[in-house]
Structure 1
Amino acid sequence: MDDITGHFRSHVEEILDALGKEPGREALVHGERRLSAGDVRDLVHRMARALHTRGVRRGETVTLLSGNLPETIAARYAAGLLGCAVNHLYAGLSADVHADILRDIETRTLIADPAQRDRAAELARRVPVDRVLLLGAGRGTDPAPGPDLVELAAGESSAELPGAARPDDICTIRHTGGTTGHPKAICTTFRQWVSAGPVWSDEEQVRTLVCTTLAHAAGLMADSTLHAGGTVVLLDGFDAGSVLAAVERERITHTFLLPPLLYQLMDHPDVDRTDTSSLRLLTYGGCASSPARLAAAVRRFGPVLNQFYGQNEAGGISMLSPEDHDPARPELLRTAGKIMDGVEVAVRAPDGRHLPAGEHGEICVRSPHVMQGYWKQPELTAEVLRDGWLHTGDIGFVDQDGYITIVDRLKDMIVVVGGHVYTVELEDVLNSHPQVLQSAVLGVPDVNRMERVHAVVVRTPGGDVGEAELRALVRDRKGAMYEPARIAFADALPLTDVGKPDKKLLRSRAAAPAGTS
């Protein structure tokens, strides 16, 4: 809220203010393109006017189907400036899922980049949207489904446009990754988004590398970087060699990776020949990580690792700071860090009882950043939001020092004869073997519909550890209940569009030869 006028200023307006302070500084880098802060600010205002001219109004849903381009960031800010609810699709989902999402959230405007031109044309045929706009002409097999927004914006004024958003308007509609079923639409307001990202001081000279999709956590880091007067370097996608080269070339200070991508970075042959001394904060999160591999990462990159635990529904929950990434204290590397300021965490039993420190239960969260609810799904919202507490679906515990440990997702927890198998705990055991790079554990039903523990293991180059040896390791460490019924070996784990192990795909592969689990 502006102290003088009383006008609510959204996060978009705050970012535009920051861009206007030093219009000549470098703000966005993409390939050979280097855009100044003034260039980005002008483009946002021009795009906002072009969208308004085409009929886009406050409260409508604008969906982006676009990669890591400067124009993607500008279009997102332009729609936000008009007070629209912005949804950013994961490009790797099927056309059916894309179409379902567009219908679910009543998309009025679809904005696609040139690489997604044909998909945008297909969606326009399948879903009734008011308008389709492209972020550049591009080429495709289908006719262009709509005009070029960049070209339309070039004809508009770059003068400052007052923001139309109100505090309780829906700002973002973010979807779960769809790895366990149909994606759910999670709503966050403009009021919540103002303080959602990490805070960095203007003096830090932040240079953030975005090498995962802007539709996920990297987009929030980009916002925080531009707000802090920093520079965002955009890569089209994750490639370990390209990331290492960019860190050295662009003197990157901050980046975000999911654990499987961090492992790829560590395993790349160029890692020890690359100057990564500019890194100050390598944030990771989004799925379970291996303590052994984290310790190796600290030894390679230094005290820069920062684990972030949160959910789209809950916002940030806890952090494991660089100071807590101590290879000599592996018990800390197994945790998700300490509860963040302003966040309340309760561990609850199935009957709702608040459990004491050390006992396993469902992690429940209360904070200003908890979602407003799922888009037009009141019954589903009521299941997870009860009495102001968000039920995360994560199973874990909080120790006496306030560190959270996550042992499983409720949906991933495997119910076996004799108890429960927590997949993260079993993955930690498998990953501790010196010839195991990575593993994924999942439950696969047998012919009698009883769940059996199934593991998929990626061995180190030249590793020859077999199923019998790994089973013996598990029996020794965790007991017979945790022993996998089957261990399969793979060259790599398939990943979802945001970089998490795709357990839905692995489960379907494992279940295909019925009765073999």
Structure 2
Amino acid sequence: MPTDVEELLDALAADPGREALVHRDRRIHAGELVRSVHRLAHVLDGRVRPGTVVALLAGNTPEALVARMAVNLLGAGIAQPHEGLSAAARARIVVDVEAAVVLADADAAAAAEPVLARLDGPAALWLGAHGADPDVLAEADGAPASPIRDRARPHDVEQIRHTGGTTGHPKGITYTFDHHRRGAEMRRRLTGLGADGGGDGDGGARLLVATPVAHVGGALADRTLASGGTVVLQDGFEPGAFLAAVARERITHTFLLPPLIYRLLDHPDLDRTDTSSLRSVVYGGAPAAPRRMAEAVERIGPVFAQFYGQTEAGGISALTPQEHSRPELLGTVGRPLPTTEIAITDADGRPVAPGGRGELWVRTGMEMDGYWKQPELTAATVVDGWVRTGDVARQDADGYLHLLDRVKDMIVVVGGHVYTTELEDLLMEHPSVRQAAVFGVPDDDGTETVHAAVVAGSPAPDEDELTALVAERAGDMYVPRSVEFVERIPLTGVGKTDKKALRAELAAQPR
């Protein structure tokens, strides 16, 4: 049975003249993309062996996609630590995965060089000219373009995707070649939900990828290319450039995290940009504020679909575009997918009463193959086929899931627990609060105190106004000890709120 990469290349080869990739001023047709993959695979053959892992230091470039496909064709796995991590963290990932080969994109040399300087392993092979170092792309120019096939074994690792690192050093999550095959079958079963990113069966899709291709962006790019669409790559997310690309390239589909949607809403170009081409804006990866999502639907249109899933678990639930017309549902993550079973449990793993709060366990059929070389952590996370998500949730009488917090982000205060997501949503109900982040700081008695950071609009509220709102709506236990007004909430490289960085920034401020 062909691998997902072979199926993708076959789909591209079937229509070689169509525009496949757009990056800066480059426009790459499908046939050119296929030839580039096979030529690079011939150059790497022998250097890259089946069953090994290759580390890729690259950003959102065509070369990153070509390198990943070429490595997978040779039966090897790929690990691409995203550029939003520190050089030390990226170097540690390369060491963790025991990379047999390191590929570095010359386009990202400034970010790759500090990583390589921390490694004692094999010298990098460069994708593009980099001084006197070997340039495998130049070698590939003279290599044959004949297909390389059948190197991958079903149970070998195809990809190691690392978590965002918001609660510690990123964990490596492994997917085998067989896992990706099962994923394609699962997507075919879910076609029509309107929450999978647009691509399956949609040959006219034009996908804008401004989040890392090392994560969700790469998966959606593959799906769009395989179904006859075009992928427009941006080096990173900047709201003005994003909006300009939507209008210029007539973008139909994209994926964003909620904090990035808020930045679009707050950008002065939004209301003068033609976004009429958009058919699907899938969002997920972080909690979404109901008031701001209602604003997004009103200003951009009924194109939003929320998809809740985890790197460890796969897809869990969806809130369709039609359901976004009901404001009372915008505080949920939708209903479980038809392929997903859920259980909400207490601290001992026992089911809670209907409507009760507890940790969400899921069984999706698309669970990870395990954490990279961490069997004990894998066994603690995947129990009899159930993934412990670490999310605190409840399910209402209509079947909609409400995410209340991460288990690790719950703030233990005197008298109970404060759920950070609930408090963030409450603060953002104030019309002058554009974004909010809530976190706990350890106290001397073993509990924590609640603190909030707020991005304010105009007119800006004062701290007393916000704490009074919280006291009235949620009670004194939820009232933050301090509310700091900041210009921007720091985000991780994949677009989630970076509470570690936020704590550090606020701690460094003079008092």
TM-score, scaled to structure 1 = 0.93
Q: Give percent identity, aligned residues only.
A: 52
- How far does the alpha carbon of each residue in 1:294-337 deviate from its partner, in whole angstroms, 9 at most, with x for none? 001101111100111111111111111101101xx322100011
- What SS does the corresponding residue of 1:107 show, helix, strand or coil? coil
Please report how far the alpha carbon of residue 506 of structure 1 lies from its aligned counterpart in structure 2 after TM superposition.
1.3
1:162–1:290 CA distance, 2 compared to 1 (3 A): same
- What SS does the corresponding residue of 1:374 show, helix, strand or coil? coil
Question: Which of 165, 168, 175 is the matching residue for 2:155?
Answer: 168
Letter in 1 for 2:85: L
Letter in 2 for 1:209: L
2-structure distance, mates of 1:414, 1:438: 19
The match for 2:297 is 298
The match for 1:5 is none
2-structure distance, mates of 1:110, 1:357: 50
**Matches of residues 346-495 of structure 1 in structure 2 within 5 Å?**
346-460=343-457, 462-495=458-491
- How far does the alpha carbon of each residue in 1:367-387 deviate from its partner, in whole angstroms, 9 at most, with x for none? 221111111111111111111
**Matches of residues 60-79 of structure 1 in structure 2 within 5 Å?**
60-79=52-71
Please report how far the alpha carbon of residue 121 of structure 1 lies from its aligned counterpart in structure 2 after TM superposition.
4.1
**Matches of residues 110-509 of structure 1 in structure 2 within 5 Å?**
110-138=102-130, 146-194=133-181, 195=183, 198=196, 200-326=199-325, 329-460=326-457, 462-509=458-505
Please report how far the alpha carbon of residue 191 of structure 1 lies from its aligned counterpart in structure 2 after TM superposition.
1.4
Please report how far the alpha carbon of residue 110 of structure 1 lies from its aligned counterpart in structure 2 after TM superposition.
1.3
- What SS does the corresponding residue of 1:300 show, helix, strand or coil? helix
- What SS does the corresponding residue of 1:126 show, helix, strand or coil? coil
Please report how far the alpha carbon of residue 478 of structure 1 lies from its aligned counterpart in structure 2 after TM superposition.
0.5
1-structure distance, mates of 2:120, 2:337: 42
Please report how far the alpha carbon of residue 491 of structure 1 lies from its aligned counterpart in structure 2 after TM superposition.
0.9
- What SS does the corresponding residue of 2:63 show, helix, strand or coil? helix
TM-score, scaled to structure 2 = 0.94
Please report how far the alpha carbon of residue 236 of structure 1 lies from its aligned counterpart in structure 2 after TM superposition.
1.1
Please report how far the alpha carbon of residue 125 of structure 1 lies from its aligned counterpart in structure 2 after TM superposition.
4.3
Please report how far the alpha carbon of residue 231 of structure 1 lies from its aligned counterpart in structure 2 after TM superposition.
0.2
Where structure 1 has 5 or more consecutive residues not aligned to the other structure, the ranges are: 1-7
Q: Is contact 1:117-1:134 (8 Å) kept?
A: no
Letter in 2 for 1:369: M
Question: Which of 100, 106, 111 is the matching residue for 1:108?
Answer: 100
The match for 1:3 is none
Letter in 2 for 1:358: G
Q: Is contact 1:209-1:255 (8 Å) kept?
A: yes
2-structure distance, mates of 1:323, 1:287: 21
Please report how far the alpha carbon of residue 341 of structure 1 lies from its aligned counterpart in structure 2 after TM superposition.
2.6
Please report how far the alpha carbon of residue 361 of structure 1 lies from its aligned counterpart in structure 2 after TM superposition.
0.7
Letter in 1 for 2:139: L
2-structure distance, mates of 1:456, 1:203: 41
Q: Which is further off, 116-125 or 43-52?
A: 116-125
Q: Is contact 1:108-1:131 (8 Å) kept?
A: no
Please report how far the alpha carbon of residue 512 of structure 1 lies from its aligned counterpart in structure 2 after TM superposition.
5.2
Q: Is contact 1:240-1:265 (8 Å) kept?
A: yes
2-structure distance, mates of 1:38, 1:97: 37
1:244–1:183 CA distance, 2 compared to 1 (3 A): same
1-structure distance, mates of 2:72, 2:11: 16
Please report how far the alpha carbon of residue 106 of structure 1 lies from its aligned counterpart in structure 2 after TM superposition.
0.3
Please report how far the alpha carbon of residue 117 of structure 1 lies from its aligned counterpart in structure 2 after TM superposition.
2.4
Letter in 2 for 1:185: G
- How far does the alpha carbon of each residue in 1:343-379 deviate from its partner, in whole angstroms, 9 at most, with x for none? 2111111111122431111111112211111111111
Please report how far the alpha carbon of residue 401 of structure 1 lies from its aligned counterpart in structure 2 after TM superposition.
2.3
The match for 2:34 is 41
Q: Is contact 2:202-2:229 (8 Å) kept?
A: no
Where structure 2 has 5 or more consecutive residues not aligned to the other structure, the ranges are: 188-195
Q: Number of residue pairs matched?
A: 499
Please report how far the alpha carbon of residue 122 of structure 1 lies from its aligned counterpart in structure 2 after TM superposition.
4.2
- How far does the alpha carbon of each residue in 1:85-117 deviate from its partner, in whole angstroms, 9 at most, with x for none? 111111122222112111111011111222432
Q: Is contact 1:443-1:507 (8 Å) kept?
A: no
- What SS does the corresponding residue of 2:150 show, helix, strand or coil? coil
- How far does the alpha carbon of each residue in 1:231-264 deviate from its partner, in whole angstroms, 9 at most, with x for none? 0011111111111111111110000111111111
2-structure distance, mates of 1:292, 1:229: 36
2-structure distance, mates of 1:469, 1:119: 43
1-structure distance, mates of 2:332, 2:92: 37
- How far does the alpha carbon of each residue in 1:119-138 deviate from its partner, in whole angstroms, 9 at most, with x for none? 54444443243341222115
Question: Which of 74, 80, 104 is the matching residue for 1:82?
Answer: 74
1-structure distance, mates of 2:508, 2:355: 39
The match for 1:4 is none
